[in-house]
Amino acid sequence: MKLHFVLPVLLLSLVFGGWRLMPASGEISVPRQNLSAFTAKHWAGVFATVAGLPLAQRIGLWADLAAVDAAYVGDPLGEGPGAAPDSDPLNDFAHVDCVTYVEQVYALALSTDYTQFPDTLRRIRYTDGQIDYRWRNHYTVSDWLPANAWFIRDVTDEVGAGVTRTMTKTIARGKFFGDKGLQQYTDIPDEEMTTDYIPRDQIEKVLPKLKTGDMVIFVIETPGIIAGHVGLIRNPGVVSVQHASLTDKKVIISPLADYLKSVKRFTGIKVARPSMP
């Protein structure tokens, strides 16, 4: 992946081991290192640089910064020390999976400074911002998208007009929580979830409609699960997906059409588009 991109009013480039951010008003340098090592000065400088930029540009910049030295680890975030059944930290820039990478990038792009980031991330990850495993948005399509309607909307039908198909899955939340040892929630009734998606063989037709910062959801045929993977749309000359890769164990950028065709378990995609709340 190329660690630089050009924006109308901002250039992010890798020089002398660090990032150089050049807005119209001046130049700010930050080290090329994982965000977990950023100082208060680094955070303040980047947030000041991106202030006033369109959301898509902020998402692109944070997506590149958050990718640096971020290792893929499945399910790296939880409800914090002592929490059950998941005591992983509430945020972690050094370890990401496909979902937490997207969530943390969106939280950074939607925040005005670093002090706002934890609250924004909590609002994205949990229904009504309640830090509890029960209220974490576990299912991307049936939980995460509805809970985050305050900043993102499903545009699959708009992007895939004329080519979409429909799938229906049974979401067994009671069983899901029971398997995690939370027997108090096993009586949650199953939910029938129907959603539209763009088939893999139609992807070339919709590429021109995709925008930087869109969330792409790769749908699968596995019973009880709609989303098999997620990432962010980027366009470094070709429409691509930036995502935390289980195979590569890091964040990579892959041409979207090629990637979709190469992973046989992906039936197609859904698309969600963020906007400022």
SS3 of 139-206: the string is: CHHHHHHHHCCCCEEECHHHHCCCCCEEEEEEECHHHHHHHCCCHHHCCCCCEEEEEEEEEHHHHHHH
CATH of the domain spanning 139-274: 2.30.260.10
How many helices and strands (H and E) does the chain possess? 9, 14
Examine the pLDDT at 9 and tell me if it is beyond 80. no
Examine the pLDDT at 276 and tell me if it is beyond 70. yes
User: Could you read off the pLDDT of 106-134 as tens digits, one per residue?
Assistant: 999 999 999 999 999 999 999 999 999 99
Examine the pLDDT at 208 and tell me if it is beyond 80. yes
Round to whole Å and give the CA distance between 249 and 247. 6
Examine the pLDDT at 25 and tell me if it is beyond 70. no
Tokens of 40: 């208060």
Examine the pLDDT at 158 and tell me if it is beyond 60. yes
Mean pLDDT of the chain: 91
Which of the residue ranges 14-18, 33-37, 176-180, 212-216 would you say has the lowest mean pLDDT?
Answer: 14-18
Angstrom CA distances, 137 to 77, 78, 96, 146, 149, stand at 12, 12, 16, 9, 13
Query: What crossing angle do the helices spanning 98-110 and 117-125 adopt, rounded to 10°?
Result: 130
Across the range 200-214, mean pLDDT stands at: 97
Examine the pLDDT at 237 and tell me if it is beyond 90. no
Examine the pLDDT at 102 and tell me if it is beyond 60. yes
Per-residue confidence (pLDDT) for residue 14, from 0 to 100: 42
The three-state secondary structure class of 68 is coil
For the question of whether the overall pTM of this predicted structure is more than 0.85, the answer is: yes
CA atoms within 13 A on the CB side of 15: 11
Confirm if 232 and 241 have CB atoms less than 8 A apart.
yes
Tokens of 250: 């890091």
Per-residue confidence (pLDDT) for residue 32, from 0 to 100: 85
Across the range 34-40, mean pLDDT stands at: 95
User: Could you read off the pLDDT of 64-89 as tens digits, one per residue?
Assistant: 999 999 999 999 999 999 999 999 99
Tokens of 234: 């980027």
Per-residue confidence (pLDDT) for residue 19, from 0 to 100: 57
Round to whole Å and give the CA distance between 117 and 105. 10
Per-residue confidence (pLDDT) for residue 6, from 0 to 100: 32
Which of the residue ranges 3-7, 126-130, 170-174, 215-219 would you say has the lowest mean pLDDT?
Answer: 3-7
Residue 236 pLDDT grade (very low, low, confident, very high; cuts 50, 70, 90):
confident
Confirm if 171 and 237 have CB atoms less than 8 A apart.
no
Per-residue confidence (pLDDT) for residue 22, from 0 to 100: 53
Per-residue confidence (pLDDT) for residue 58, from 0 to 100: 95
Residue 20 pLDDT grade (very low, low, confident, very high; cuts 50, 70, 90):
low
